Amino acid sequence: MMLTKLSSWFSNLTRTNRFLLNLFLIFLFTWLDYITPPEFNMRLFYLIPISLSVWYEKNIKVGIIFSVLTSYLYYYFTVSESSSRLHGFYLIWELVIVCSFYIIFVLIVNQITKDKAALQKSESKFRSLFNNFEVGMFITRLDGSEILDCNDKYLKILNYTREEVVGKPSVNMWADKRERDKMVKMLKADGHVTDFEFDLLNKQGEVRRCVTSLRLYPDKGILEGSLLDITERKKAEEDLKESEEKFHAIFEQAAMGVALLNTKTGQFIRINQKYCDFIGYPMEEMLQKTFMDITYKEDIQINVDKNRELLESDRTEFSMEKRYMHKNGNIIWGNLTISPLWKSGKKPETFYHIGIVEDITGRKHAEEERNQLFTGIQRQAVELDTIFNALPYLVSLHAKDGQYLRVNPTIKKIFGFDPTKASREEIAQRLKAHFPDGQPLTPKNMPSNRALEGEAVYNIEYIVTDVSGNERTLLYNGIPWKMDGEVQGAVFVQEDITERKQAEFIIQKQNEQLQELNATKDKFFSIIAHDLRSPFTGFLGLTQTITEEASNISAQELTLLGSTMHKAADNLFRLLQNLLEWALMQSGSASIVLKDISLTNMITQNVEEIKVRSEQKGISINNIVTDHIRAYADEKMINSVLLNLLSNAVKFTNRNGAITVNVKEIADQMIEISVRDTGVGMPKSMMEKLFKLGEKTGRKGTEGELSTGLGLLLCKEFIEKNNGRIWVDSEEGAGSTFHFTLRSKE
């Protein structure tokens, strides 16, 4: 043990230190040689050559031979003959022992020197590999208390300097301490861990997804391991998965048939339901077929040649119109577009392509019919554009935050802008969208929010203003698409149901009108049954009296009965006239002719016509219309209105009363006509019912004149047909004033 340590110490000396030590030994040997007896001098002297060969790393054999020769010469010239034999034997024996000792010593020194050089070389190689390795390398304690060493790649991953890492705890860099506990448990169980994924925190606090492989040295309590940052790789994997989910959603929900095929064999690999519906076969049967099995026989070779051309050239797609055989035996047409799933110039071992088929059977049939009429006219492009632009649905793909990602041309056409380039707030503002109840559509209450939260949304109506400023009603349907159970966005399909809603509105209005007409008919019959019966009953009673009492009736009484019968007949005539005009109005048979009429002359004529009856009651009629006023209205209708209002004024005014007719011009080119009387007036409750059909407002005049209230209903209908309005101001016992308006010009 001491010899090994001494040899190691010697081997670590520099050449200068060896030289100095050698001088010291030479002086020491010389001094010892001087003080020792002659027979022992050579023992020390022959050590000098051996020492020189060792110190200067020369061949030990040369040193030994030189020592033996020197010792022999010294012995020959200095030792007496008497003791030569004994001393010669002793010399040889001593040389053997000493040389053996030095041979062993030198071999140990040389071996230690070689081992040290090999170790230094190995450490240098290890350090070079450790520092230059393409993955992070580190050495740390098992308990996480200290990082012992690491390479530059490890520092680069975590964005630390060596001084900030070496000697510091490693446990603080773990984003989730539970992951480290799991890793330590696995190490203690197996002694090593391979491809363990976990999250580390870099210097900026960012989470980096890493994978490590570790080996435990339990006797030392340390770990050696590698570290690889896979954050970008994991993100790329997630992006790829998201892309696949989008592809799946588009693939399954596409409006046209989509299929994945083997280009060489023509075998269907994957197919959507739209394709199956187009051909008529269930999906299980379709996946057992090739495209040749469903292609019309005369189009198979063309399709095969197109596929071969795709394999042998660098074309990125081709399209063709071809015929298919439907399961029911009918020939159907499809517009086929083929896109290869390999890059141009890079041919794989396995060839796949995507086939998209649009059902153009209807269009082809239409083309055949048109071609019979318009031979030689090329209409394909126009027809395709027409079909494309006439698509009835608005289809869009939305991100999780609601932003438009993809839209079809119909959306741009209706909206008047591209919603993928606008925010949700801007879209809501530009479209002025609202629900049917008038509630505005905002980013917070959009039906798309429910779909983006994971709920399928169906048949929600809302109204938008299109590019022309017209309101359109859209029927909203939204389907969320998810990845790993989380909503990533949604696909929305909106149907423009404006025309349908308008048709429903028209039907509703017609139903309401029909119900109103039925109600009017019922009320009309009620009026006839109730109000027409009374005048006839009275009239019949008078005729019966004359018939039965004719011989006993005096001339004066007969005159009185005749006057009464005349009044009854006059009232009955006016009632029948009003009923006839009302019936014509309600049936739509009464036509309206708007023209320029002299309102002044019409008022004068009606005042003269009513004077006979007014003078019988001593009622004065004051026509204060002096200016020549004209109106734009139907002459017959307005004449009937004036006659009805003047007749009612005479009917409900006491003897010696007064009636005043006036006209004045008002705003917006309108004229107001008023008929005021000093009659009995009416209570407020009667005023509220006055112009409503079915309300009992008829009452007798001041001298028993009959009244049904039908005349005022007729006045209201006539005035409204002439774009005016009618109303009354009245107070019970203080008379009434009826007003109505007409336009003064066209």
Phi, psi of 594 (to 5 degrees): -85, 130
Give me 200's structure tokens: 């580390």
Average pLDDT over residues 264-282: 88
Give me 283's structure tokens: 């999906």
Are the C-beta atoms of residues 31 and 45 closer than 8 Å to each other? no
> What are the tens digits of pLDDT across the range 136-150?
888 888 888 888 888
Give me 504's structure tokens: 């429903």
Average pLDDT over residues 446-460: 82
Phi, psi of 290 (to 5 degrees): -110, 170
- C-alpha span between 670 and 742 (Å, rounded): 6
> What are the tens digits of pLDDT across the range 159-188?
888 888 888 888 788 888 888 889 888 988
The per-residue pLDDT for 674 is: 93
115 DSSP assignment: H
Q: Quickly list DSSP for 691-731.
A: TSTT-------TTS----SHHHHHHHHHHHHTT--EEEEE-
3-state secondary structure of 655: coil
List all residues 6 or more positions away from 466 whose beta carbon is below 8 Å from its beta carbon. 414, 415, 416, 472
Question: What is the average pLDDT score of the chain?
Answer: 76
Question: With the CA atoms of 192, 194, 198 and 200 taken in that order, what torsion angle do they form, in degrees rounded to the nearest 10?
Answer: 70
- C-alpha span between 169 and 157 (Å, rounded): 17
Give pairs for 250-255: CB < 8 Å, separation 24+.
Answer: 250/397, 253/479, 253/491, 254/356, 255/393, 255/395
> What are the tens digits of pLDDT across the range 630-642?
999 988 888 888 8
- C-alpha span between 745 and 98 (Å, rounded): 150
- C-alpha span between 143 and 216 (Å, rounded): 11
> What are the tens digits of pLDDT across the range 298-320?
988 988 888 888 777 777 788 88
- C-alpha span between 725 and 715 (Å, rounded): 10
> What are the tens digits of pLDDT across the range 529-556?
545 555 565 667 667 777 777 677 777 7
Residue 511 burial class via C-beta count within 10 angstroms: exposed 0-12, middle 13-18, buried 19 and up: exposed
Residue that wins the pLDDT comparison between 101 and 735:
735
Q: Which of 97-101, 192-196, 490-494, 561-565 has the lowest mean pLDDT?
A: 97-101
CA 506 to chain centre: 34
Q: Which of 71-80, 148-157, 233-242, 482-491 has the lowest mean pLDDT?
A: 71-80
3-state secondary structure of 48: helix
Domains of the chain: 2-128 (no CATH), 134-229 (3.30.450.20), 243-359 (3.30.450.20), 393-493 (3.30.450.20), 591-743 (3.30.565.10)
Q: Which residue has the tokens 């739209």?
A: 274
3-state secondary structure of 325: strand
Confidence of residue 21 (pLDDT cuts 50, 70, 90): low
The per-residue pLDDT for 578 is: 62
Q: Does residue 29 carry a pLDDT above 60? A: no
Q: List the one residue out of 250, 255, 257, 252 whose CA is nearest residue 326.
A: 257
List all residues 6 or more positions away from 719 whose beta carbon is below 8 Å from its beta carbon. 641, 725, 726, 740, 741, 742
Which residues are bridge partners to 322 per DSSP? 334
Count of positions (residues) in the chain: 746
Q: Does residue 672 carry a pLDDT above 90? A: yes
Which residues are bridge partners to 260 per DSSP? 270, 354
Residue 335 burial class via C-beta count within 10 angstroms: exposed 0-12, middle 13-18, buried 19 and up: middle
Q: Which residue has the tokens 């741009």?
A: 412
Are the C-beta atoms of residues 354 and 258 closer than 8 Å to each other? yes
652 DSSP assignment: T
Phi, psi of 646 (to 5 degrees): -65, -40
- B/e letters for 628-652, b = 16+ CB within 10 Å, e = fewer, are ebebbbbbebbbbbbbbbbbbbbbb
Which amino acid does the sequence have at 655?
A: R
Beta strand extents in 58-191 (DSSP E only): 136-141, 147-150
Ranges 79-83, 297-301, 381-385, most confident? 297-301
Are the C-beta atoms of residues 677 and 669 closer than 8 Å to each other? no
Are the C-beta atoms of residues 46 and 70 closer than 8 Å to each other? yes
